[in-house]
Structure 1
Amino acid sequence: MKHGIHPEYRPVAFKDASTGKLIITRSTATSERTVEHDGATYPLIVVDVTSDSHPLWTGKQRLVDTAGRVQKFQEKYARFGGRASSR
């Protein structure tokens, strides 16, 4: 293995934005933000989805307001002469 070409792995804290769960793992990611955990300070990276909040892992689905989205789309494009159609 060549020396000096590989990134340095160090402990980093990843925080799930929706659940608040903190995961400590090794990574090359960097951040100016830090967090204190178990007496140690780690760089903090906030992520939108982790295994703690992803529907595949939790078995829970989020309800999506598709009817509201369709209505917004139709209102937006109504000024172009009627309903939007696919070609």
Structure 2
Amino acid sequence: MRKDIHPEYKEVLFHDTNADVYFLTRSTVATKATREYEGKEYPYFPLDISSASHPFYTGEQRKASNEGRVASFNKRFGAFANRGKK
């Protein structure tokens, strides 16, 4: 491998703020924040969502508010679809 072209690969502490879960893994993410975890200091990176809080992995269903959009579209343009049929 060529020297000085690869990013630093180190242990980083990721924090899923929605589920309040910490993940310690190796990454090349650049961050200046640090946190102590299990007696050691690690670079810290907060996350909005991860496998601990994502609906696909947790099985939690969230109802989308798209039903109103579809109904609004059909109300406005539904008459055009039936106009050409006889």
TM-score in terms of structure 2 length: 0.70
Q: What's the offset of the Cα at 1:29?
A: 0.9
* Identity %, equivalent residues: 37
Provide structure 2 residue ranges, at least 5 long, that are not aligned to the other structure.
Answer: 78-86
Structure 2 counterpart SS, 1:36: strand
1:57-68 correspondence to structure 2 within 5 Å = 57-66=57-66
What is residue 34 of structure 2 aligned with on the other side?
Answer: 34
TM-score in terms of structure 1 length: 0.70
User: Which of structure 1's runs of 4+ aligned residues deviate more than 2 A?
Assistant: 62-67
Q: What's the offset of the Cα at 1:58?
A: 0.7
Q: What's the offset of the Cα at 1:17?
A: 1.3
The Cα offsets for residues 19-62 of structure 1, whole Å up to 9 and x where unpaired, read as 11000011111222211111101111111110000111111122
What is residue 55 of structure 1 aligned with on the other side?
Answer: 55
What value does the CA root-mean-square deviation take over the aligned residues?
2.3
Matched AA of 1:21:
V
Provide the aligned length of Structure 1 versus Structure 2.
75
